């Protein structure tokens, strides 16, 4: 990594505040953790030099105008902004920002977007033929507007083009993306040290889902179903068959299955398997437990059942998942 690692973050009216300040804080902490050896130099650039009002109402002061950035940019970071409409959030695509990104990107060692900033990269033509992610709420629009981009709405960030191009989900995932950039520059130990300073529970890897199983399902209109979902999460090593759950709800098995699917969008068996798979994933990421121990702790009962669930849920094996997402801190 160069001794002076110049990070330029684009800012513009109504930009999401955390998209800007989150990465800046990560790079600042990396400097502190290495006694300044990291060499990160963060600069904010806007359409004009001066004050910029963010979506949170907090005002930022840019270091320079786009025209003054010059040629040397090690990391170009593009955050996002949204306009709220009756149809939901609409990513803001500012022509001035898009044109500047298109002109600046070829001179940067790597380019990264945060949240709906991926829409700006796509508009600049940087994502054509590549896989990218963005905030889950605008992923369908990104795919529709840019059919040449392979949009994956699930990961918290995607690394493409041999590490030259990164796209991140929103909004707190900007921290995970920034930590991954630090890990690429300085190694996992420094990135983990920064994560500890941020009091992050885990430095998440890019392929992890934006949502846990409970968050990925809509809230039920029936309170007892939401209470059952919480109970399931706390009793994954017990009998969670449809019959057992129906008995707990004092319903017939057939009626229970119909109500559960109506409220959650999935069958009881599929929901339980997804919840158990999530626990197994966390154990594979953060512990050295043998596969039989992981299977028991997650409620699968056997390694064979664990394997079948991983193939259905993640299209991979537990061992392959561990190799990819195992954290050094475990």
Burial class (CB in 10 A: 0-12, 13-18, 19+), 160: middle
Q: What is the CATH number of domain 5-197?
A: 3.40.50.880
Report pLDDT for 315. Answer: 82
3-state secondary structure 173-205: HHHHHHHHHHHHHHCHHHHHHHHHHCCCCCCCC
pLDDT single digits (tens) 82-100: 998 887 789 999 999 999 9
Looking up tokens 């160069």 gives 2
Judged by DSSP in three states, 166 sits in strand
The structural domains of the chain, with segments of one domain joined by +, span 5-197, 213-325
Q: Find out whether 94 and 123 touch, Cβ atoms under 8 Å.
A: no
> Which range, of 6-15, 27-36, 147-156, averages the lowest pLDDT?
147-156
**Rounded to two decimals, what is the model's pTM?**
0.69
pLDDT of 325 > 80? The answer is: no
Q: Find out whether 114 and 77 touch, Cβ atoms under 8 Å.
A: yes
pLDDT single digits (tens) 153-173: 888 889 999 889 999 987 788
* Percent of residues, the chain, with pLDDT higher than 70: 91
Axis-axis angle for helices 318-325, 268-286 (nearest 10): 50
- Is 289 one of the annotated active-site residues of the chain? no
Superfamily of domain 213-325: Homeodomain-like (1.10.10.60)
Q: How many residues does the chain have?
A: 330
Q: Which member of 115, 174, 250, 289 is catalytic?
A: 115
Q: Torsion-angle region of residue 274: left (phi > 0), alpha (psi -120 to 50) or beta?
A: alpha
pLDDT of 305 > 50? The answer is: yes
């Amino acid at each position: 990594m160069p001794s002076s690692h110049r990070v330029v973050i684009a800012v513009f009216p109504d930009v999401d505040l955390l998209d800007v300040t989150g990465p800046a804080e990560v790079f600042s902490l990396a400097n502190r953790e290495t006694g300044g050896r990291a060499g990160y130099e963060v600069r904010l650039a806007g359409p004009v030099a001066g004050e910029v009002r963010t979506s949170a109402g907090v005002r930022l002061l840019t270091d320079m105008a786009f025209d003054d950035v010059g040629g040397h940019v090690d990391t170009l970071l593009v955050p996002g902004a949204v306009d709220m409409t009756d149809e939901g959030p609409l990513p803001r695509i500012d022509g001035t920002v898009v044109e500047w990104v298109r002109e600046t990107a070829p001179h940067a060692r790597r380019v990264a977007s945060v949240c709906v900033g991926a829409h700006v990269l796509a508009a600049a033509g940087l994502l054509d033929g590549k896989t990218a992610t963005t905030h889950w709420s605008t992923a369908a629009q990104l795919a529709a507007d840019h059919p040449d981009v392979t949009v994956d709405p699930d990961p918290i960030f995607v690394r493409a083009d041999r590490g030259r191009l990164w796209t991140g989900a929103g909004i707190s995932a900007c921290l995970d993306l920034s930590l991954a950039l630090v890990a690429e520059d300085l190694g996992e130990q420094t990135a983990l040290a920064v994560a500890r300073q941020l009091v992050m529970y885990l430095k998440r890897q890019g392929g992890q889902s934006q949502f846990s199983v409970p968050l990925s399902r809509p809230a039920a209109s029936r309170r007892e179903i939401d209470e059952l979902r919480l109970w399931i999460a706390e009793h994954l090593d017990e009998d969670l068959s449809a019959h057992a759950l129906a008995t707990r709800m004092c319903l017939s098995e057939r009626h229970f299955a119909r109500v559960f699917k109506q409220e959650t969008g999935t069958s009881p068996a599929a929901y339980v398997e997804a919840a158990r798979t999530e626990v197994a994933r966390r154990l594979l990421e953060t512990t050295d437990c043998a596969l039989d121990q992981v299977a028991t702790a997650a409620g699968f009962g056997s390694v064979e059942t664990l394997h079948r669930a991983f193939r259905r849920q993640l299209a991979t094996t537990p061992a392959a998942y561990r190799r990819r997402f195992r954290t050094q801190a475990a």
